[in-house]
Amino acid sequence: MSHPHGQLNVAIVEGRKLKDEDAIGKNDAYIELYVNKDYRQRTSTRKNMNNPIWNETFSFNLLKHYDNLHLHAYDDDIVGQDSIGSCKIDLNKHVFGKGVYDDWVKLPAHLGLGSHGEIHVIIQHIVQPF
């Protein structure tokens, strides 16, 4: 399958029921996202929330074929970060040639048993001819 080059626009809208990683208080949550692990982008940190609202948009120039968009939710701490959960969205299945993808994606718990919360994302692929 030939992959259309173009731009991938990703809106990280909000999170809900993010697993609490702090012993005291709530998460200081942010999302890291990428199609190429060498070029990562991230939302701002939303302090003391397990249901954060970001409404932030990111763009990725697709110069070659990428199969997945990776999302990683973190709790930002004074020393380092704790992983809340992660997932990947299959771009071939959900985005390319499909219009706009607007859905809640789950952050699966260990071995897929349960969930560490959900992230509301909106993804659009804009085809740019050579």
Q: What is the CATH number of the domain that holds 81?
A: 2.60.40.150
In a domain, 114, yes or no: yes
CA angle 57, 100, 4 (to 5 degrees): 90
In a domain, 1, yes or no: no
Look at residue 114 in the predicted model and tell me its pLDDT: 79
Name the token pair of 8: 């991938």
pLDDT (tens digit per residue) in 4-42: 688 999 999 999 999 886 566 788 999 999 999 999 999
Number of separate domains in the chain: 1
Q: How far apart are CA 124 and CA 42, in angstroms?
A: 18
Look at residue 127 in the predicted model and tell me its pLDDT: 86
In a domain, 20, yes or no: yes
Look at residue 1 in the predicted model and tell me its pLDDT: 45
Judge whether residue 2 has pLDDT over 60.
Answer: no
pLDDT (tens digit per residue) in 81-129: 889 999 999 999 999 989 899 999 999 887 667 789 999 999 999 987 6
Mean pLDDT within 69-74: 96
pTM attached to this predicted model: 0.90
Among 46, 37, 53, 39, residue whose Cα is nearest residue 86:
37
In a domain, 89, yes or no: yes
**DSSP state for residue 110 in the 8-state scheme:** G
Residue 2 or 73, more confident: 73
What string of DSSP letters covers 44-57? PPBTT-SS-EEEEE
Residues 6 or more apart whose Cβ sits within 8 Å of residue 13: 53, 54, 55, 120, 121, 122
In a domain, 77, yes or no: yes
Residue ranges making up the domain that contains 52:
6-127
- Helices and strands in the chain, H and E counts: 1, 8
